[in-house]
Structure 1
Amino acid sequence: MSYPEMKVLKASHDAMTLRKLGRTILQHTSAHGIPNIFRSRHWLRRTVWLFFVSFALCCALWQCTEMVLTYYTYPSHEKIMLISSAKLKFPAVTICNLNSVRLSSIKRSFTMATSLQDSGLELSHRRNRSHGLNSSSELADEQVQYASAFHKFASEFNQLSDEQKIEMGHQLDDMLIFCSFHGQECNSSFFSRFINYKFGNCYTFNSQKPTEVRGNSSNTQPLNITKAGFMYGLHLELFIQQIEYVRDMTHAAGIRLLIHDQSQMPFPEDEGVNVPPGAETEIGMMKVHINRLKSPYGSKCTEGENIKNFYKDVYGAEYTREACKRTCAQQNIMENCGCSHWEFACPKELRFPKCNLSKAAIHECVKLYEFKFAHDELNCHCPLQCREELYELTVSGSQWPSTAFIENFSKELKEMGGQMKDIADSPALIRDNFVKVVVYFKQLNFELIEEEPSMTEINLISNMGGLVGLWVGFSVCTLAEFFELFLDVLLLFIRRCLRTAGSRSGDANPYVQKQAPIYLQKTTNI
């Protein structure tokens, strides 16, 4: 008896299920174009849809790649706003007499008088002026010789202790004859002092330093302004003491004035304006606040983290790019010349002697690094500061004291006594020795310049979503569909693995009942 031919099914059930899963998802996905590939019955139409969907997918991937690469260049842009305020913090105002050392103090000091004669300031000035300046080269020679002579005198002067240099410079109590701020009287207790290598004693109003000029404790809270205009600013009347000027060293008379943020170290030799005597100088200012972005954005600004700043160690000033460059120059001089330069700050705990330019080797070494500093050839890592406050100034002036007022002013000077009494009878000497300056806000608003990212993570995701949606119609729901497909495939493979493991354990144990194979009966026609 012959049995019908029976055929055992292969284990192709899982493969059919996987194919069915993928086909079902792709036929019903919300992504545009893909279902049309499966719905098309003619091979030509199906080929066209396949080409178009592939082309759109490639375009979407290309543009998304370009967008991601652009994001990682960290582009930025500046946003400028004009912000109105009912109250503004008044800046620090630094003043320095253009004459650094008083003539009377030099005469009392035999060492400094000898140094002044040995420096050749007077001889260099006379020699070039005696023959007349017939060409620009002669003028340049005079400037070079004067600069060299002044450098030599400054070297000797800066060998003195800070106490000696303070004593030899102009004193604020002698210079300040009137002070008012926001309509209220102020005095020398509103000022702090620091020593500048070029101008000697410099005094800062509203500096927020814990001590004032005399060393007494002072208010560290900044002064604020609640009204704009001439009447509500800082009014100063100063006696510049031209009779104390060193004739061969100081060629200009007046006050060096610098407006800056309290946290920054002022450098009057590079910044600021000169205020002449015999005039009332009005300085109207407009505040500009700048915020920059840190690395990896283009400005790569810093707050001074892990960057050496001698001006913070000595004066408590915050990081600025100029302070960083000067610190870097001082470090190079100390490492290579074995001394500290008087132009730059140096903490006392480092215990480097001051550079003595009378020694030829030190003179040449210091000169080399001065040249590199001036031409920005030092290898210094000094990025911009992230927060910066600048002040745009409008300067105007008029004669002061006027002819009508000078008689009353002369009487006031006689009552004050001292050196002012000696010049009170001469209008010319009064105008040569007195300065009046007014510093005020032109308006109670300020300009805010902020650097902002041109592309954030949210912008990147939004733009990529728009591009992908434009080309292939992908959406979050589409991604959910493919995620569902991934889970289904994962579960399918898990079931396959479990079934394979079960079948192997069944072959090892003959007593376990096996699943009966499936037979297909093949019928034949008789």
Structure 2
Amino acid sequence: MPDKQGADGTEDGEGLIEFHGSYREILQFFCSNTTIHGAVRLICSERNRMKTGFWAALLAVTMGVMYWQFGLIFGQYGLHPVSIALTVDSRTLKFPAVTICTLNPYRYKNVQEDLCELDHMTEEALYTLYGYKSPARKGDRLPRPSPRRRGFFPHQLGLRLLEAGRQHQPTLEIGGRRALGRGNGSSLSAWLHNPPLSRNSSWKIGFELCNESGDDCFYNWHSSGVDAVREWYTFHYVNVMTRVPSTQGAHDDARIADFVFDCKFNGLSCGKSNYTRFHHPIYGNCYTFNGINSSYQWKTSKTGKDHGLSLLLKTVQNDYIPLLSTEAGARVMVHERNKFPFMEDGGFDIRPGVETSISMRKEEVRRLGGDYSDCTQDGSEIGVQNLYRSDYTQQACVRSCFQFTMVSRCGCAYYFYPLPPGAEYCNYNKHTAWGHCYYRLSKEFSEDVLNCFKTCRKPCQQTEYQMIAGYANWPSKNSENWIYPLLQKEKQIITSNRKEIAKLNLFFRELNYKTMSETPALPMVVMLSNLGSQWSLWFGSSVLSVAEILELLLDLGALSAILAVRNLRRRLWEPAPSPTPHPSPEHGSQHCHPPMLPHPPQDASAHLGSFDALADPALPPTYDSLDRDGYGAGPGGCQGPEGAQEGAGTFL
């Protein structure tokens, strides 16, 4: 700014910091020099009020729309959206782990004595409900109950049949202490000669579960008698097997040669170092090939079943538990090497007498952690101890969560899941109400009342295998005449029944594998770009225009602060008006007072350059007492400085 000449003739230099004198000057300077389109029109059309109002309204509307768009962009950024990036790569692939189970938890001959009472009760139920007799008991009228049954199986856990319209009183009870109908023995005989489920499909069948005090009971009903019998048999089977030593039955069938006759990978025979074994409570002995404990990692650089895993399996169906294992064949699951195989979730069955060929394709999923998703890297922050000897998976976490909750609320652990430290498996001889607790807990678990599914998050990195299955009869009728003799000599397979042999081939159908990776859909750079695009669209300006607006806000704030401080100081330092003196009428003629002379006020306004004259608070004089010099002398008054007599008047 040019130097200004002061009132005394000197020049005032520029200050280090200068502010405008009013809000009008600030706004006029901003609109005249800003690079924001439209703002300068306010100054150019200041003499035309209609145009000024139009441009002011248009500028306000565009600013409002722009900041509305800003809000949408910030809101979308706060959601942390992701986009999926799909890439396809081709290289030598690492072969996955393959787990195969026998579909039979124990050889029936090894546990037949322990399951004898349960089998008798189940056969009794099938005969009573359907009139069915097992082939081994065609000559018997009814399976005879053992004297041990009274203490071996609780009375309230017997099967009960409910007739339509009778919701509280069971029509027929099977198992436990007795099998009773609504009448006497002749009535029971009538039931047996005319089984209820063979003539009426509207019946419900189940078993009653009560808590320890017996005041909370419910029925586990099924509309299908077969489903009810299998559920009831499995429930009692769990209680029986908890009393059987783990070494009985399980390790008698532990030799892999009794199940896997032949194993080859890439044309080479497998060895003992290529598989590990574990026992599943439902699917029996399981063998994991190419697992984490294998001596080396299998790899393949070619496709086709000649460059994969080939297995020849034996399925001896005569050893199956008849009332528990209703499927024949083998259970197979393909999974990562460091993950536990959950056969009930991701496995599939292969049939005996059939060659099953499984072609695979690898897919990887990589999720973003942090604010973008609720995935976890290794599950260390979940807070649920992993009961499975493997890396973190969501299935392992969910089952561990349920098992710990089961131990906490029911006082025992569920037999189908790993045993936590310091706990024991449930058995109604020790834990009389564990069934009631378990089924209540299972319902809460399925409805996620236990928050296990919310607590256990997905892993951030996951590998999946998409599979396509093909089937063919093996061996064919024309080749079975020479295949069986050769297998008998080479593999010591003493069988000629195709229902006891199954063949499995697993291989990659292509070396290309897909990787689906999550990437931020709105990173910081894209968000700033969107903000700049909106700013340019509505204002046609740049980042420097933002600095101009910040400068305007700073100037307005500084001017407001200065004016506020000035008004505050003026109020604090302004003197209060003094009271007006009145001469006493009795002593007015004897006492004289000097004239009141004006004095400048001593307050803060004097420093700011403003002077306010104070009026004389004395009473105005009478007109006959005034003289030319401004001093009055009345009768009996006082003389002025020049010898004049003082009167009753006061200097104004």
- The answer, yes or no, to whether TM exceeds 0.5 is yes
Alignment of 1:441-520 (within 5 A): 441-482=508-549
Contact 1:165 1:200 in 2 (8 A): no
Which whole-Å deviations, capped at 9, do the CAs of 1:283-320 have from their partners, x for residues lacking one?
112223222333533x522232322455x444123232
Q: Does 1:65 align with 2:71?
A: yes
State whether structure 2 residue 308 is matched by structure 1 residue 233.
yes
> Deviation digits for residues 131-187 of structure 1, max 9, x if unmatched?
685665578112211221132123322444444453144532311111111222213
Structure possessing the higher relative contact order (Cα contacts under 8 Å, 6 or more residues apart)? 1
1:27, CA displacement in angstroms?
Answer: 1.6
Aligned to 2:644: none
**Map of 1:418-457 to 2, 5 A cutoff?**
420-421=493-494, 423=495, 426=496, 429=497, 431-457=498-524
Give the match for residue 403 of structure 2. Answer: 330
1:51 aligns with 2:51: no
Amino acid at match of 2:304: G
5+ residue gaps, structure 1, are: 1-5, 210-217, 497-514, 519-526
Matches within 5 A, 1:60-99: 60-79=66-85, 81-99=86-104
SS at match of 2:321: coil
What SS does structure 2 have at the residue aligned with 1:59?
helix
Give the aligned residue type for 2:237: F
Pick the structure with greater CA Rg.
2
| SS class of match (1:474) | coil
Per the alignment, do residues 437 and 73 of structure 1 end up closer, same or farther by CA in structure 2, a change over 3 Å counting?
A: same
Please state how far the C-alpha of 1:415 moved relative to its aligned partner. Answer: 2.9
The CA deviation string for residues 455-491 of structure 1, in whole angstroms up to 9 with x for no partner, is 2222211111111111112311223445666788999
The one-letter amino acid paired with 2:473 is Q
Residue 96 of structure 2 aligns to which amino acid in structure 1? P
Alignment of 1:333-412 (within 5 A): 333-347=406-420, 350-358=421-429, 359-374=431-446, 376-380=448-452, 381-412=455-486
In structure 2, the partner of 1:523 is: none
SS in 2 for 1:353: coil
After superposition, the Cα gap between the structure-2 partners of 1:201 and 1:126, relative to the gap in structure 1 and judged at 3 Å, is farther
**TM-score, scaled relative to structure 1:** 0.79
1:144 corresponds to which letter in structure 2?
A: A
Corresponding residue for 2:380?
305
Change (3 A) 1:295 1:478: same
Match of 1:222 among 297, 307, 331: 297
Distance 1:307 1:357, change over 3 A: farther
CA distance 1:129–1:279, change in 2 (3 Å): farther
Which segment drifts farther, 461-470 or 132-141? 132-141
| Equivalent in the alignment of 2:233 | 149
Q: Please tell me whether the aligned partners of residues 332 and 348 of structure 2 are also in contact (alpha carbons under 8 angstroms).
A: yes
Give the share of equivalent positions with the same residue, in percent.
26
Q: TM-score, normalised by structure 2?
A: 0.64
Map of 1:12-51 to 2, 5 A cutoff?
Answer: 15-16=19-20, 23-44=28-49, 45-51=51-57
| AA in 1 matched with 2:410 | C
More helix by share: 1
Query: CA shift at 1:259, angstroms?
Result: 1.2
Assess, with a 3 A threshold, how the Cα gap between structure 1 residues 126 and 306 changes in structure 2: closer, same or farther. Answer: farther
CA, structure 1 residues 135+271, in 2 after alignment: closer, same or farther (shift >3 Å)?
farther
Equivalent runs, 1:195-344 vs 2, <5 Å: 195-209=279-293, 218-219=294-295, 221-294=296-369, 296-297=371-372, 299-303=373-377, 304-310=379-385, 312-320=386-394, 322-344=395-417
CA contact (8 A) 1:194 1:202 kept: yes
| From 467, 483, 488, the counterpart of 1:414 | 488
Distance 1:288 1:368, change over 3 A: same
Tell me if the contact between 1:115 and 1:156 (Cα under 8 Å) persists in the aligned partners. Answer: no
Q: Secondary structure at the match of 1:269?
A: helix
* One-letter code aligned to 1:449: M
In 1, the alpha carbon distance for the partners of 2:451 and 2:387 equals: 22
Does structure 2 retain, via aligned residues, the 8 Å contact 1:169–1:200? no
In structure 2, the CA distance between the partners of 1:123 and 1:265, relative to structure 1 (3 Å rule), is: farther
Distance change >3 Å, CA 338–CA 241, structure 1 → 2? same
Report the Cα offset of residue 28 of structure 1: 2.0
Q: Which residue of 1 aligns with 2:622?
A: none
Aligned-pair RMSD on alpha carbons? 3.5
- Matching residue's letter, 1:355: C
The secondary structure found in structure 2 opposite 1:99 is coil
Aligned residue for 2:585? none
- What is the SS of the residue equivalent to 2:368? coil
How far, CA to CA, are the matches of 2:405 and 2:540 in structure 1?
62
In structure 2, what is the Cα distance between the partners aligned to 1:137 and 1:199? 33
State the one-letter code of the partner of 2:283.
F
TM-superposed CA distance for 1:352, in Å, is 0.7
Contact persistence 1:256–1:268 (CA under 8 A) = yes
**8 Å Cα contact 2:106-2:250 kept in structure 1:** no
Per the TM alignment, residue 333 of structure 1 is displaced from its structure 2 partner at its CA by 1.0
Structure 2 residue matching 1:360: 3-state secondary structure: coil
